[in-house]
């Protein structure tokens, strides 16, 4: 028999809590105490990351923090009724009813469906009133069991289901051509568990109340049942209440559209329906693009111009990095002494292209370069790596365009990136070309077109038009000045020596250690990775400085918490410190995040100091790295290794000793209730 989703031990009634972070951490600890998750900190971190993305407070004093987390082993609900309530960002005030919805990262559809039923029940007055009136945890469990189908359906639930039916007559404002408006809607949230279904139910209820024929498609984590195409074709307008991309959006091409967050679908369903009716009657109103490629438009709806541009550029970088990582490591492997050695970059000739393993004649295992089998394999690795690196700029441009215009932007973006390579405009040319291609594709796809033309738009018309615009501008106007600028930048970097190179190392080290995997860190890393395509000494030095600085924060925290000053750290921090050794040695800066989050005013300055020292020393020693990632596992691609190790050791020691000194002699850390309760199996922040 499967475990029930909620038990009395997962319920807390009328407890007090400091803030929403305390509540989430306390409920996460309860889930772990019941053996339903393995790591309270990991579950808290996943739920808190979701909360930071979009607050989970809802009207009516409700909050539903939720997450899919690898630490969760059993789909679970944990509940707290708070006195007084805690602010979760709802427009009408604090929440006194809080459910933590915890699902495994690979939760089955049936489990996710159970958790989604709870979200829907929270939209009913009978359910929330019952939770507030419950006297014991067992009463709460009985109510939730009925709501999610793990108990007998309640009379109120059955009555509500039976009463759903005839809709009232629509008012004049919600009629189109004398009949009730026909609207379709799609809802989805980041996790696809709670908000998705609550918005769907809120819109459905509002449609019934207003006499509108409204069909909703919740796109949850457990999948979705697509609305029949005939219903979409007959609809007057579509509502997209989404925090993530709409799946198969091309089905709605040409329809008048209202876009909003999923939370607005919960809080303001009547207004959304009214807006949908209004846009259906407006010939100049927004339409779903013919390409169906509006994920960028959806994502940009709630972002400022600067935040949206950052999202676009980081999307391009994230898709580009695998090309560089694979290609760079293959080139680094080709430099191994028992393969080609560093000389293979200049001497391999056509060994890789003019031979195949079944045509080899003089490449015997025992022969020395340039005839040995090892040399031949090194030449093959070098060729594959070089070709992979050649995709760096086109991939950057292609996926920048993808972030703007979805799939129709990929082809013109790749072409614009290839033109940038052709004109020696480098990664800066690829960046600008990708932006041009993406916005050109987006603009071409905006107008509504006849149905017979829609199928040609994403595969012919948009790629053709956007390629002509973006690549034409690069060739005719922008390419030459960008190429000149890149030449000057390359010459400047190659000419750096002494104090100039050391200063650059300091700047890169500070950027790598400031936000530990955040935007500033990614800018520095992307700058270094993009430079590897040039295969110059300056690019290798920059890559080495970035890598060694990024390794310092987790190693420094590991040294401080597990060796130098164990009593200055909590038990959880010491456990994180043990894991941070491997993370730091692997060049995973995020290993220091738990320390920075718990004590930012002392940890972040220590990280910055160590990173600056490491970056400066790497530049001073002339350390170069031909591999874009890997830490100690790519030492064969780092030269001189002694310089890299010395810079790493110095930066790690500076960070470790500085954070120990700050903890011992600076003002004591303000210990939050969450930090204290992280040490307890059953937190006191939510009463037992």
DSSP-based three-state secondary structure for 11: strand
Neighbours of 459 (CB within 10 A): 13
Lookup: tokens for 525: 């890393």
**How many Cα atoms occupy the beta-carbon half-sphere of 460 within 13 Å?**
4
Rounded distance between C-alpha atoms, residue 255 and residue 234, angstroms: 10
Residue for token digits 């290609």?
Answer: 327
**The Cα angle at residue 414 between residues 410 and 418, in degrees rounded to 5:** 175
**Distance (Å, rounded) from C-alpha 678 to C-alpha 230?**
53
**Which tokens in the block code for residue 6?**
């909620």
670: left (phi over 0), alpha (psi -120 to 50) or beta: beta
Helix axes 519-531, 305-334, angle to 10 degrees: 40
Residue 645, H or E segment = helix 641-665
Side-chain half-sphere exposure of 303, counting CA atoms within 13 A: 16
Catalytic residue positions, numbered: 66, 189
Pairing of the two strands 95-104 and 76-86: antiparallel
**Strand, helix or coil for residue 106:** coil
For tokens 């400022």, what's the residue?
304
Helices 426-445 and 305-334 pack at an angle, to 10 degrees, of 130
Per the CB < 8 A criterion, the answer to whether 389 and 532 are in contact is yes
Answer yes or no: are the C-beta atoms of 392 and 434 closer than 8 Å: no
User: CA-CA distances (angstroms) from residue 249 to 330, 425, 464, 560?
Assistant: 39, 35, 21, 51
Query: Of 405, 196, 143, 154, whose CA–CA distance to 291 is shortest?
Result: 405
State which H helix or E strand residue 552 sits in.
helix 537-559
Nearest CA-CA partner of 355 in 364, 363, 345: 363
Neighbours of 137 (CB within 10 A): 19
Beta strand pairing status for 62-63 and 57-58? antiparallel
**46 token code pair:** 């996943």
366, 376 contact by CB (below 8 A): no
3-state secondary structure of 390: coil
Beta strands 57-58; 213-218: pairing state:
unpaired
């Amino acid at each position: 028999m499967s475990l029930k989703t909620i038990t009395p031990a997962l319920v807390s009634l009328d407890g007090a809590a400091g803030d929403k972070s305390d509540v989430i951490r306390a409920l996460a600890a309860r889930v772990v105490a019941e053996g339903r998750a393995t790591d309270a900190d990991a579950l808290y971190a996943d739920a808190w990351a979701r909360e930071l993305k979009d607050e989970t407070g809802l009207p009516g004093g409700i909050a539903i923090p939720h997450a899919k987390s690898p630490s969760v082993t059993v789909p679970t609900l944990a509940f707290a009724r708070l006195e007084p309530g805690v602010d979760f960002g709802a427009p009408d005030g604090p929440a006194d009813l809080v459910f933590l919805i915890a699902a495994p990262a690979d939760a089955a559809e049936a489990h996710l469906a159970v958790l989604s039923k709870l979200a829907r029940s929270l939209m009913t007055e009978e359910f929330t009133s019952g939770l507030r009136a419950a006297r014991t945890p067992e009463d709460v469990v009985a109510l939730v069991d009925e709501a999610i189908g793990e108990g007998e359906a309640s009379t109120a639930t059955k009555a509500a289901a039976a009463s759903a039916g005839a809709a009232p007559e629509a008012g004049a404002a919600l009629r189109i051509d004398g009949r009730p408006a026909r609207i379709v809607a799609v809802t989805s949230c980041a996790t696809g568990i709670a908000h998705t279904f609550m918005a769907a139910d809120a819109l459905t209820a509002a449609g019934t109340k207003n006499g509108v024929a409204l069909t909703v498609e919740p796109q949850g984590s457990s999948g979705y049942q697509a609305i029949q195409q005939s219903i979409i074709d007959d609809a007057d307008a579509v509502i997209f209440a989404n925090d993530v991309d709409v799946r198969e959006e091309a089905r709605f091409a040409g329809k008048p559209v209202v876009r909003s967050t999923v939370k607005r679908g919960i809080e303001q369903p009547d207004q959304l329906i009214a807006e949908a009716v209004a846009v259906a009657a407006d010939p100049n109103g927004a339409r779903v693009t013919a390409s169906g490629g509006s994920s960028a438009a959806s994502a940009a709806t709630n972002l400022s111009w600067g935040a949206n541009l950052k999202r676009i550029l980081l999307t391009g970088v994230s898709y580009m990095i695998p090309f560089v990582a694979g290609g760079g490591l293959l080139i680094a492997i080709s430099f191994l002494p028992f393969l080609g050695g560093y000389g293979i970059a200049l001497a391999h000739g056509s060994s890789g292209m003019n031979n195949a393993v079944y045509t080899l004649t003089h490449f015997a295992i025992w022969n020395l370069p340039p005839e040995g089998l090892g040399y031949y394999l090194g030449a093959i690795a070098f060729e594959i790596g070089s070709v992979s690196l050649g995709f760096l700029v086109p991939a950057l441009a292609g996926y920048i365009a993808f972030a703007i215009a979805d799939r129709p932007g990929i082809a013109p973006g790749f072409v614009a990136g290839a033109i940038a390579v052709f004109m020696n405009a480098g990664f800066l040319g690829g960046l600008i070309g990708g932006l041009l291609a993406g916005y050109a594709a987006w603009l071409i796809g905006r107008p509504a077109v006849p149905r017979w033309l829609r199928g040609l738009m994403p595969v012919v018309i948009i790629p053709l038009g956007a390629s002509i615009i973006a690549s034409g501008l690069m060739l005719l106007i922008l390419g030459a000045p960008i190429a000149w600028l890149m030449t000057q930048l390359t010459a400047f970097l190659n000419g750096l020596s002494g104090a100039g190179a050391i200063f650059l190392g300091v700047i890169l080290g500070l950027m790598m250690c400031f936000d530990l995997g955040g935007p500033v860190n990614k800018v520095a890393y992307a700058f270094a990775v993009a430079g590897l395509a040039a295969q110059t000494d300056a690019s290798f030095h920059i890559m080495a400085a970035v890598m060694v600085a990024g390794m310092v924060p987790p190693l420094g925290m590991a040294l401080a918490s597990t060796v130098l000053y164990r009593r200055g750290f909590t038990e959880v921090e010491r456990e994180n410190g043990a894991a941070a050794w491997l993370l730091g040695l692997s060049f995973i800066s995020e290993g220091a995040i738990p320390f920075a989050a718990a004590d930012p005013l002392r940890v972040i300055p220590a990280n910055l100091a160590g990173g600056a020292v490491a970056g400066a020393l790497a530049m001073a020693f002339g350390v170069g790295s031909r591999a874009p990632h890997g830490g100690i596992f790519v030492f064969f691609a780092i030269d001189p290794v002694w310089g890299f190790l010395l810079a790493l050791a110095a930066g790690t020691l500076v960070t470790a000793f500085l954070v120990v000194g700050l903890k011992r002699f600076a003002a004591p850390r303000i210990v939050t209730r969450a930090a204290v309760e992280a040490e307890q199996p059953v937190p006191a922040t939510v009463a037992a």
